[in-house]
Amino acid sequence: MRLMITLLATLGFTAAVMAESFNVQEGNADNAFISEGTIAAHLLLTSGPEPRIIVAFPAGNSGAGIFLKQPQRPAQFTRTGSLEAVEETDVTGITARFSADTPTLTIARADLGSLRFVRGAVNPASIAPRDEARPVIDGDTIRWQRDRADGKSRYEMRLTLANGQITQTADGIVLTGDDDRLDLALTVMTGDTPLTPIRADDLLTNKAADDPRLQNALGFLATREKLMAGSWRFLTYFGRDTLLSVRLLMPVLGRPAVEAGLGSVIERLNESGEVAHEEAIGELAVLMNQKASGNPSDRPINDYGMVDDNLMLLPVLADYLDSLTDTEAKAFLALVTTDGERYSDALARNIGFVLAAARPFAADPVTENLIALHAGEPDGNWRDSEEGLGHGRYPYDVNAVLMPAALEAIGRLQARGLIEAPSGEAAKLAAVWRRKAVKPFVVTTTNTREKIEAYAGEIGVPATLPDGDFSFHALALDADGKPIPVQHSDDGFDLLFGAPDAKRLSAAIAVLERPFPAGLLSPVGMFVANAAFADDAIRPLFGPGHYHGAVVWSWQQAMWAVGLRRQIERDDLPATLKGRLGTLECQLWQAIDAGRDIRNSELWSWSYMGGEYRVTPFGQGAGHQTESNAVQLWSSVYLAVTAPATCQQ
């Protein structure tokens, strides 16, 4: 077949390849995926009052988008055939066939190249000049084509109308059908370098849950070069997403997959030992390098703006090496990066970074010595929308949980003789951070019942009101060290990586024991934030339409499920506390099961109607800030995270 494709390509033909594919339907979004050899693509058809068409490729994080003007009535797209992989002389891509139940559609604009531009997260004018792909109409086909800025790749898109006419007007390109529908064929191709898929038998062991949707999602996102964060919006490397996904999937991942993930993070450590958050590749890298130096190189550019993933690498690495013999662990650390550096030497920089960052607070435990967001940056942890920390500067998870966890991991690795570090220093630093870093984050409520009742009325839900006031950990501290009084789910990191004492563990799980709007647990899942006790300036930043507001993130629930099980299995906790943990574990799994049909999404929102909570795909409701990915790396972790027998009905 490959020989035939190559022969046809050299003769100028486009060859169709029979390919494995899968589909995900979420609300008005129809997602179709294909993965055949090195050809991988995601087609998104969004129906409704604002229809659009997106194609995304892992190759170069590239793709295309067609954005349509609002039709007279909502349009419904229906795919009329399976995706077909195609290869031409210097490009690969897909062809899709579909119809729209409307007699006319108007294309307002189209774009192709880097997905960062397609999704609108980057202003091209702020980076470098970028050729516009101008449409060319040829009978029943519209063609868009342009070269990448360095001339080493090109992108092409063709849209064919099978039953009507195409006309150019002042409003855009108008597609008019001969009847009440439009029959369309779309071909999109990229010349960017494809990635290398991980073979199925290297990706998962036979311990993985029998869930084809999750297996397909992980298979689409996992490659030898990196594990991609999600599609369509984040179809590239993200350090934090990789580390947390590897940790939660570790019980069922094949060693090649674990080491591909960890290796991709180690590969991208900078000279200071910081973990790369995200990479700019393909066309975006070309334009950024051109802007910076005048050289249109496609050398990837890594972003080191986050402060949390710097502290995640060592705990995840330590957990993986715990599963290996000393010989196997040393063999992993002896692997080399593409630049020829041993993993152990690269990791030494991260260890040095963590120790240096920990020393000031341990010597003088004041707010100014905690880990803050980088100057001028509005975000720096997983809550990386500009409002995700309520404009806080010192995140709770980074300081109260991840720093102690990283220091404790250094001690574990040192005890096995796998790394070199100052003897005993990490343990001493960890003890100070674990004991003292949490204190400035403690918030005690006042007028509790009144505030919860008012908040419930504000968002239109009923309230179960607790008796008396209670304490919780603030989401963050502001620049002056004042707590941001928002309840949150980030104690889940401590359940996953730490062994908190009984008092702290009891306080951590209380936010989940209290039902929303007093706490975080709802019938549609665990919310990642609850601003019932915040003031009028902060509270509106955490509603069900906000990316890090009162919404459900699938991986956060999985992290809590794994973390609760870890704590239950400890033998140093009081029986009453372990009983609470067991009860809460089953309550959480009931909530997880309520979102089973959408749990591989990045996140979801909710509505309250007819006396009940209902799941709403994020990005498809009024006031939603952005949209959710249909497949998300860290939402595939339910291949390893399953309900215990004690919670199964």
Helix (H) or strand (E) holding 77: strand 77-79
Please report the DSSP string for 132-151 in residue order. Answer: ----EEETTEEEEEEE-TTS
pLDDT at 8 over 70: no
pLDDT at 3 over 70: no
User: For residue 577, how far is the Cα from the chain centroid?
Assistant: 33
**The token pair that represents 449 in the structure block:** 């019942």
Phi, psi (deg, nearest 5) at residue 289:
-65, -40
User: Averaging pLDDT over each range in 10-14, 461-465, 526-530, which range is the top one?
Assistant: 526-530
**The token pair that represents 68 in the structure block:** 């349509």
Closest CA to 532 of 547, 515, 545: 515
DSSP state at residue 646:
G
pLDDT value at residue 619: 75
- Bridge-based pairing state of the strands 552-553 and 234-237: unpaired
CA 109, 110, 113, 119 torsion-angle sign: positive
pLDDT value at residue 621: 58
| Average pLDDT rounded to a whole number, residues 367-385 | 96
Amino acid at the residue 589: W
User: For residue 319, how far is the Cα from the chain centroid?
Assistant: 22
pLDDT at 6 over 70: no
Question: What does the pLDDT look like over 110-119, one tens digit per residue?
Answer: 999 999 999 8
Length of the chain in residues, anyone?
Answer: 649
CA 240, 127, 267, 147 torsion-angle sign: positive
User: Averaging pLDDT over each range in 14-23, 66-75, 260-269, 465-474, which range is the top one?
Assistant: 260-269
CA distance 620 to 46: 10
User: Look-up: residue for tokens 């150019």?
Assistant: 168
Question: Where is pLDDT greater, at 354 or 386?
Answer: 354
Closest CA to 122 of 282, 293, 239, 296: 282
CA distance 586 to 597: 19
- What predicted TM-score, i.e. pTM, was given to this entire model? 0.92
Closest CA to 465 of 506, 528, 508, 517: 517
Any alpha helices (H) in 11-134, and if so which ranges?
115-118
| Average pLDDT rounded to a whole number, residues 553-571 | 96
Name the least confident of 240-244, 263-267, 383-387, 560-564. 383-387
Name the residue ranges covered by the structural domains of the chain. Answer: 2-190, 200-647
Average pLDDT, the chain: 92
Question: What does the pLDDT look like over 435-448, one tens digit per residue?
Answer: 999 999 999 999 99
pLDDT at 494 over 90: yes
Question: What does the pLDDT look like over 126-156, one tens digit per residue?
Answer: 788 788 899 999 999 999 999 999 999 999 9
CA distance 97 to 13: 19
CA distance 437 to 369: 10
pLDDT value at residue 418: 95
> 200-647: which CATH architecture?
Alpha/alpha barrel (1.50)
User: For residue 563, how far is the Cα from the chain centroid?
Assistant: 20
Sheet containing 612-617: order of strands: 552-553, 603-609, 612-617
pLDDT value at residue 420: 85
DSSP state at residue 353:
H
CA distance 317 to 224: 18
> SS3 of 219, please?
helix
pLDDT value at residue 1: 33
pLDDT value at residue 132: 84
Question: What does the pLDDT look like over 589-626, one tens digit per residue?
Answer: 999 999 888 887 889 999 999 999 999 988 765 555 45
**The token pair that represents 191 in the structure block:** 């010349």
**Contact between 511 and 531 (Cβ < 8 Å):** no
Judge residue 335's burial from the number of C-beta atoms within 10 Å of its C-beta, 0-12 exposed, 13-18 middle, 19 or more buried. Answer: middle
Q: Which residues have C-beta within 8 Å of that of residue 457, sequence separation ≥ 6? A: none
Amino acid at the residue 593: D
